[in-house]
C-alpha cells in the first residue's frame, strides 16, 4: 500500500462567502495533516493535496458530504512522499486565471464543450475531421503533448483568449481540447463555443485521467504537474521523450525551475548541464546573488521575502 496519496481535482460550483470558506477550509486541511495548494473562488474549487491514504480519504469524504461539490472527480496518484511541504488555501477571483469573468459569456456550470472520456478521446483523436488543441502554457507542452496536437505560444492561460483568431481555421473541425486535469478546458471550450466554433469537445479528467484509463497512448513526453514532482509519466503504451535541454539541446525529460528565484523559469535541463549550470537557465542567473542551492531536483520551497522597509514607508506616505 502506498505511503501517501496525491489528489488532483476541481469543481465549478458557486460558493457563498468564498473568502470565509477558504479560511475555514485551510484549518480543516491542516487538521487532517494534508499539504498542498487549493484555490477557492466564488465559482468553485481547484486543488492538489497530498497526505496519507487515510487523510486523503477523509478529505474526499468531506468534500462529497458538502452537496455543492458532488460532481468533484479526484485523480489519485500513489506517491512515496508528500508532493508538497506546506498547506495553502487561497481565495482568488477565479479558480484558474483566464481573465474571463463575465458569467453571462463564460460559465462552465452552464455551457462547455462535450466531455469525452479517455477511451472516447482515444477513438476520435486521429479522425480526419478532428483537431487536437492543447490549451496549456509553453513550458507544459514543451515537456509533453499529444502527437499532432496544435499548441499555442502562451506563457499563461490568461493569454488564451487573445489566441482565438489564430484558431479560426479550425472552425469547421471537431476541436478536441485537453489540459492537465480538465479545468482549463472548461473555460477554453466555453469560449470557443461563444466565438462560433460549432463542434467542441474536452478530454474529461485531462491528461492525468487519460494516462490512467487509456494508457496515455500517443501522449509524447511527460506531463507537467504543479507540485514538487514537477512532472509525471503518462504513456505506458508507446512512450517517447520529446523535450530537450535548454542549454545543450540533448533530449531530456527533466523539468526544473531556475535556481535564481527572480527568474524561476520552468525549463528542461539534462543532469550534466544541471550540475554545470547549478540549476540555472543562463550564466546571468548562475551568477545572481540570490541564487538558490541546486540539489538536483530543481524544486524549491517558496520562502517569505524580507520586507522592503523603505518602499513600504513611501507607500504609507503616499496614502
Catalytic residues: 179
Quote the strand ranges of 163-212, DSSP E. 174-178, 199-203
CA angle 187, 160, 185 (to 5 degrees): 30
Inter-residue long-range contacts of 155-159, CB under 8 Å, 24+ positions, other chains counted: 156/97, 157/96, 157/97, 157/98, 157/184, 157/188, 158/97, 158/98, 158/99
Q: Which residues contact 66 (CB under 8 A, 6 or more apart)?
A: none
The neighbour count for residue 130, using CB atoms within 10 Å, is 18
**Helices (DSSP H) in 257-319: which residue ranges?**
271-277, 283-286, 309-318
Q: Residue 154 corresponds to which cell in the numbers above?
A: 502562451
Per DSSP, the chain holds a count of helices (H) and strands (E) of 9, 15
CA angle 38, 139, 275 (to 5 degrees): 100
Measured CA to CA in angstroms, residue 211 lies from 24, 149, 170 at distances of 34, 16, 26
Helix (H, G, I), strand (E, B) or coil at 158: helix
Q: Which helix (H) or strand (E) holds 46?
A: strand 44-51
Determine the Cα–Cα distance for residues 191 and 209; give it in Å rounded to an integer: 23
Amino acid at each position: 500500500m502506498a505511503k501517501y496519496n496525491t489528489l488532483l481535482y476541481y469543481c465549478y460550483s458557486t460558493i457563498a462567502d468564498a473568502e470565509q470558506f477558504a479560511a475555514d477550509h485551510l484549518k480543516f486541511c491542516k487538521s487532517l495533516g494534508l499539504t498542498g495548494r487549493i484555490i477557492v473562488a466564488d465559482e468553485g474549487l481547484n486543488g492538489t493535496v497530498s497526505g496519507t491514504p487515510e487523510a486523503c480519504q477523509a478529505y474526499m469524504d468531506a468534500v462529497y458530504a458538502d452537496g455543492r461539490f458532488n460532481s468533484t472527480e479526484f485523480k489519485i496518484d500513489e506517491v512515496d512522499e508528500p508532493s508538497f511541504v506546506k498547506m495553502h488555501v487561497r481565495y482568488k477571483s477565479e479558480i484558474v486565471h483566464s481573465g474571463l469573468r463575465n458569467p453571462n459569456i463564460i460559465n462552465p456550470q452552464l455551457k462547455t464543450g462535450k466531455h469525452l472520456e479517455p477511451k472516447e478521446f482515444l477513438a476520435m483523436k486521429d479522425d480526419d475531421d478532428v483537431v487536437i488543441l492543447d490549451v496549456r502554457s509553453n513550458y507544459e507542452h514543451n515537456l509533453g503533448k499529444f502527437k499532432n496536437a496544435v499548441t499555442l505560444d502562451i506563457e499563461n492561460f490568461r493569454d488564451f483568449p487573445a489566441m482565438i483568431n489564430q484558431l479560426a481555421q479550425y472552425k469547421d473541425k471537431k476541436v478536441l481540447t485537453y489540459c492537465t486535469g480538465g479545468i482549463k478546458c472548461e473555460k477554453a471550450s466555453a469560449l470557443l463555443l461563444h466565438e462560433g466554433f460549432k463542434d467542441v469537445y474536452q478530454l474529461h479528467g485531462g491528461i492525468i485521467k487519460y494516462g490512467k484509463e487509456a494508457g496515455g497512448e500517443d501522449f509524447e513526453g511527460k506531463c507537467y504537474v504543479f507540485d514538487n514532482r514537477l512532472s509525471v509519466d503518462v504513456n505506458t503504451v508507446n512512450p517517447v521523450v520529446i523535450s530537450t535541454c535548454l542549454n545543450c539541446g540533448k533530449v531530456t525529460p527533466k523539468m526544473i525551475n531556475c535556481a535564481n528565484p527572480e527568474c524561476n523559469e520552468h525549463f528542461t535541463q539534462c543532469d550534466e548541464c544541471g550540475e554545470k549550470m547549478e540549476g540555472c537557465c543562463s550564466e546571468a542567473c548562475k551568477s545572481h546573488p540570490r541564487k538558490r542551492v541546486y540539489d538536483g531536483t530543481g524544486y524549491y520551497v517558496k520562502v517569505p521575502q524580507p520586507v522592503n522597509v523603505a518602499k513600504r514607508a513611501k507607500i504609507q506616505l503616499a496614502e
